[in-house]
Amino acid sequence: MDQGLLVPDELTCDLVMDRIQQDDCKNGFVLDGFPRTIPQAEALDAALSKIGQKMDYAIDVDVPDENIVNRMGGRRACLSCGATYHVEFNPTKAEGICDACGAQTVLRDDDKPETVQKRLTVYHEQTQPLIDYYKNQDILKSVDGTQPMEAVFDAIIGILGA
Ligand SMILES: [Zn+2]
Distance from residue 70's CA to the centre of ligand 1 (Å):
23
pTM of the model: 0.75
Q: How far is CA 16 from CA 2, 100, 105, 151, in A?
A: 21, 32, 32, 28
At 42-97, the pLDDT tens digits run 999 999 999 999 999 999 999 999 999 988 999 999 999 999 999 998 999 999 99
Q: Of 30, 34, 59, which Cα lies nearest the Cα of 142?
A: 59
User: Does residue 91 have a cis bond before it (omega within 30 degrees)?
Assistant: no
Distance from residue 100's CA to the centre of ligand 1 (Å):
5
Distance from residue 87's CA to the centre of ligand 1 (Å):
15
Question: Is 130 within 8 Å of 91 (Cβ atoms)?
Answer: no
Collapse the DSSP code of 55 into the 3-class scheme (helix H, G, I; strand E, B; otherwise coil) and give the result: coil
Say what percent of the chain tops pLDDT 70: 95
Distance from residue 99's CA to the centre of ligand 1 (Å):
7
Distance from residue 112's CA to the centre of ligand 1 (Å):
20
Give ion ligand 1 contacts, CB < 5 A: 78, 80-81, 83, 98, 100-101, 103
Q: What is the largest CA-CA distance in the chain?
A: 53
Indicate if the pLDDT at residue 1 is higher than 60: no
Distance from residue 35's CA to the centre of ligand 1 (Å):
32
At 122-146, the pLDDT tens digits run 999 999 999 999 999 999 999 999 9
- Looking at residue 6, its pLDDT comes to 59
Beta strands in the chain (DSSP E): 58-62, 75-78, 84-86, 105-106, 140-144
The mean pLDDT value for 93-109 works out to 96
Question: Is 34 within 8 Å of 45 (Cβ atoms)?
Answer: no
Could you give the CA distance from residue 72 to residue 41 in angstroms, rounded to a whole number?
26
Question: Is 17 within 8 Å of 47 (Cβ atoms)?
Answer: yes
Could you give the CA distance from residue 4 to residue 126 in angstroms, rounded to a whole number?
13
